[in-house]
Amino acid sequence: MTLAPVEDLAVSGAPVSPRKAAKPPQDRSGYLFILPWFLGMAFTIIPFFASLYLAFTDYNLLNVPNWIGLENFAEMFSDDTWWQSVKVTFVYTFVSVPLSLAAALGVAMLLNRGVRGLPVYRAIFYLPSLLGGSVALVLLWRYIFGLNGIVNAFLGFFGVEKIGWTSDPDYALTTLIILHIWTFGSPMVIFLAGLKQIPAMYYEAAAIDGATKWQQFRKITLPLLSPIIFFNLIQSLISSFQTFTQGFIFSGGKGGPANSTMFYNLYLYKQGFEQFHMGYASAMAWMLLIIIAAFTGLNFLMAKRWVHYDN
């Protein structure tokens, strides 16, 4: 008796049960690596939703939360100090971020010209960004801009009277803005990496056609660097809106003088952990999230007009 080949059985309509290929053993070690992230996420998600609930309650950390609906949010709009904190944060963000990015791009373009000892200069300019939010640097900044500090001593050589950089409400926030601009190292390194990806032949062709340095910068550098500019812009905006350490240390936790350095997060901290208005502080936190999300979304919408990708 001879058996028909499998092909003949398939043609004749006889059922064929092909042998299933054995599945390769799965490597589950990846789950082990992401397990700490899942465990840590519990410490984020639980407070996240707890703060959302507390935002609609009257809670002082001692008593049971009392549901009051939207009263915390309504109280914000009649709170003069809250409006002052919004003003200080907005001025700080919309002045320091553009100036900081401009300084970062300018230094990156200088370093991109093939400077000797580039790694050393890059590290020197990057170092302040690592220390910008540190307590020690802010204390040093207070001393430098103090009434008898180095800045006033330098201005004194030109006959300028001493300025109360840290005690005058008209100058206190400006001092912190200068500190933020000085810590441009992080976006500078990213700009420098992006500049090195722009082919030199573009500039050579533009120079042959008679383009000036400004035209090359406007027509070549900015368009090709626009995705990196956009990235640094978003990162800097989010970070600036959440400024806390500089204002807290600079003013001794008071937001002074005359609330001139009362940043949003500083006022949130004072409401939650000094006055124990935890419900109000939670509502402030969610309002800040809405503000940051709104400006981030607006930037993404506007990016379609000026951000150019290679595709």
The pLDDT value given to residue 239: 93
High-pLDDT (> 90) share of the chain, %: 51
The pLDDT value given to residue 23: 62
- Range 215-222 contact pairs with CB under 8 angstroms and sequence separation of 24 or more: 221/109, 221/195
The pLDDT value given to residue 10: 47
- 3-state SS assignment for residue 38: helix
The pLDDT value given to residue 7: 47
pLDDT for 12-70, tens place per residue?
A: 455 555 555 556 666 678 888 888 888 888 788 888 999 999 999 999 888 899 999 99
Is the predicted pLDDT of residue 261 greater than 70, yes or no?
Answer: yes
The pLDDT value given to residue 116: 76
Largest CA distance in the chain: 117
Non-local (6+) Cβ contacts of 257 within 8 A are: 167, 168, 169, 172, 251
The better pLDDT of the pair 17, 80 is held by 80
Least confident of 112-116, 169-173, 238-242, 281-285: 112-116
High-pLDDT (> 70) share of the chain, %: 89
- 3-state SS assignment for residue 53: helix
Is the predicted pLDDT of residue 232 greater than 90, yes or no?
Answer: yes
CA–CA dist 171, 128 (Å, integer): 22
| Count of H-run helices and E-run strands, the chain | 15, 2
On whether the CB atoms of residues 62 and 276 are closer than 8 A, the answer is yes
Is the predicted pLDDT of residue 9 greater than 50, yes or no?
Answer: no
